[in-house]
Structure 1
Amino acid sequence: MRVEFAPLNVPLRRRLQTAAVLQWVFSFLALAQCCLAAFVLLALSDWWIVALLYAGWLWLDWDTPTHGGRRSHWVRSWTVWEYFRDYFPLTLIKTAHLDPKKNYIFGFHPHGVLVAGGFGNFCTESTGFSRLFPGLRSHLLMLPFWFRVPFFRDYIMCGGLVSSCKSSLSHLVSRPEGGNVAVVAVGGAPEALDARPGALTLQVQGRKGFIKLALKHGAQLVPVFSFGENELFDQMENPAGSLLRRLQNRLQSVMGIAMPLFHARGVFQYSFGLMPYRKPIHTVVGKPIPVSQTPSPSSEDIEALHSVYLQSLMELFEQHKQTYGLDENQHLTFI
């Protein structure tokens, strides 16, 4: 394979963009393991008292990821996220006013490999979420597993990440004064295994838990489609029924997290590596779907609202697809 190296005269601005995305990829793939190792080494060192004190803090703070987390506007506003935004580049598009006195569930599609659009738009201020939606606080839901890792949990909560368990989502959307936005990557880990350029298949037909909670708490539903999300990485071929896919499905059922074997470009060359391609991402926030609070929703209530949500998602995609680089004959598939 011929390796295409990056030119030596790359502007400093682009090098800083690459560095910003490199630290983000590292955070997703290895920072949790490094934090866990640091905690173990600290516990085994002469500084064990620090580890003991942190363990006490962890015990007292255990429920924070399910009770709204602990956002830090300072962390969300770091300059590094502006370089992260400009690498792709990443854009957040508002299509309708959202009343800050209400709570919302954003259904984010597609999941992609590393949810780059979800992170950049809703865990940082680089694309101007607070400016576009004044009075609203965004929280991206993440698997509960990651909030059990010492130090790492505190870092990710600073960006607005919270646990994706049912009690966490309920806590966010039941805030009496409103103003909370819970961002749910609806397709979850299974959809990540099919995230590759050109993919337009969404795993949503059986995903109705967020619909039920929206009804239970009267939270408004908002479809969100991130154009370009699946264009960032290639994946090894893993068709349904293949040995690799069976292994990935088994690991997912045991660990609860997806293990996509993805690849794209490198830091100093463009032929292979784990850095995403420089492809634009346009994350379009649709119109809110009014939801009447139903404390004990029936199956019929859930099915009816789910159908309305899928129709709104399809309309959002069809309305904007040609604006953001897709052909008229490209359509979403729901499974």
Structure 2
Amino acid sequence: MQERERERERERLSTSTSTIQLTHREHPGRGSPSPGMRVEFAPLNIPLRRRLQTAAVLQWVFSFLALAQCCLAAFVLLALSDWWLLALLYAGWLWLDWDTPTQWGVEGRSGSGAGQCGITSGITSPLMLVKTVDLDPKKNYIFGFHPHGVLVAGAFANFCTESSGFSGLFPGLRPHLLMLPFWFRVPFFRDYIMCGGLVSSCKSSLSYLVSRPEGGNVAVVAVGGASEALDARPGALTLQVRNRKGFIKLALKHGAQLVPVFSFGENELFDQMENPTGSPLRRLQNRLQSMMGIAMPLFHARGVFQYSFGLIPYRQPISTVVGKPIPVVQTPSPSSEDIQRLHSVYLQSLTELFEEHKHKYGIQEHQHLRCI
């Protein structure tokens, strides 16, 4: 009798183990593989188009994480080699071109990034830009992009390339994604990102864009910034926006129209190590951010030829919804009350945009934005 009960218990444990293994196979790449778990390799018969997409995304991740360091090392090696004259000539050009990311070069060199459309076409499947209303090309706009995510993938794909057809949806508008000024000081790398339509996120750059009398400029601001990236993980709906009012002030000063933008799926592309507020890791990340100005999220996803670990984003859909513009009356010297009033209207519009569209993209009824 006891032997029969032991046999039933062994069968029950075997069934439970099989269920766990099946669940892992159905969701390859989610989370770090536990010790002893097999690596989930990609099938050999994946179509060539998918392979090319993966290669394109690998190039994008490399550009985001390591290209700046490689460009800086290349400049130093060039300066120390027999070709030092080329480095000297570039240094002279860099000195003459120092203010380009914030002045005339914002429009003179950068573009919509149509030439880079292949780079991000495989970041996720599908990538979709959703227009809710038409935008007047005679006006200037500030797009508040939410959430930041780990690598701002949706903002780059939609507004620095033609992967989702921005120019067709919004004819006459030229998008420019704002990036930390630090990156525009790195030799060679600065020229690369400027050709993709990125501009410095400093105040003078944003002011130049939205003050052009001919209109047609769109400044895309990842409002949550680097600090929000430290909380970017699947299911996260917390936005750092309540104390972000600089873009509101500039919108009032120049009369630019404010447009809330929410990118559904942005936080689903990567997993991140647990770093709750107050933990040693989070304190270290906050300290590095205060010193360097950039976030250091410890993230992971899938690999190139396997689904269990790596830095390639999961093949999850990104749906970036562009909301209705908020009319802004130009106020050359806005008061604190003016800024707070418009900021409240912006938060309300952002919340309404999220609530209106969340059901289409897998967000449950009980889930809501949390703005801090």
**Which TM-score band (shorter chain)?**
over 0.9
Q: What's the counterpart of residue 81 of structure 1?
A: 119
1:329 paired with 2:344, answer no
Cα deviation 1:164-200 (Å, max 9, x = unaligned): 0111111111001111000000000110000000000
Tell me the residue number matched to 1:34. Answer: 70
Distance 1:274 1:76 in 2: 25
Give per-residue Cα distances to partners, 1:250-290, cap 9 Å, x unaligned.
00000000000000111111011111100000000000000
Shift of 1:76: 2.6
C-alpha distance in 1 between matches for 2:147 and 2:88: 41
- The match for 1:64 is 100
Instruction: Please name the residue that 1:313 is paired with.
Output: 350
RMSD, matched Cα: 1.1
**SS class of match (1:77):** helix
2:88 aligned to which of 49, 52, 72: 52
TM-score, length basis structure 2: 0.88
Give the Cα–Cα distance (whole angstroms) in 1 for the partners of residues 354 and 56 of structure 2: 30
1:169 aligns with 2:169: no
Alignment-derived partner of residue 28 in structure 2: none
CA pair 119-82 structure 1, distance change in 2 beyond 3 A? closer
Larger radius of gyration: 2
Distance 1:266 1:62 in 2: 38
Partner deviation per Cα, 1:58-77 (whole Å, 9 max, x = no partner): 1111111112252145x533
CA distance in 1: counterparts of 2:202 and 2:369, whole angstroms: 28
2:148 is the counterpart of 1:111: yes
Aligned-partner Cα distance in 1 for 2:278–2:60: 32
Report matched runs for 1:138-217 at 5 Å: 138-217=175-254
* Count of residues in correspondence between the two structures: 333
Runs of 5+ unmatched residues, structure 2: 1-33
Kindly provide the amino acid, as one letter, of the partner of residue 248 in structure 1: Q
Superposition pairs of residues 257-268 of structure 1, within 5 angstroms: 257-268=294-305
Gaps (5+ residues) in structure 1? none
Calculate percent identity across the aligned residue pairs. 83
Contact 1:77–1:126 at 8 Å: present in 2 too? no
The change in CA–CA distance for 1:181 and 1:72 in structure 2 (over 3 A counts) is closer
Aligned residue identity for 1:196:
R
1:132 partner letter: L
Q: Which moved more, 1:325-334 or 1:307-316?
A: 325-334
Identify the match of residue 5 of structure 1 among 41, 49, 62. 41
Shift of 1:82: 6.0
| CA offsets 1:66-116 (integer angstroms, 9 cap, x no match) | 12252145x53345236335x432110111111111100000000000000
Give the structure 2 partner of residue 242 of structure 1: 279
Structure-1-length-normalised TM-score: 0.97
Native 8 Å contact 1:264 1:276 kept in 2: yes
Distance in structure 2 (CA, Å) of the matches to 1:265 and 1:84: 14
Q: Verify the 8 A CA contact 1:36 1:150 in the aligned structure 2.
A: yes
CA contact (8 A) 2:145 2:221 kept: yes
1:273: which partner in 2?
310
Q: Distance in 1 between matches of 2:111 and 2:207?
A: 22
SS at match of 1:80: coil
Asked if the contact 1:123–1:161 (Cα under 8 Å) also holds between the matched residues in 2, the reply is: yes
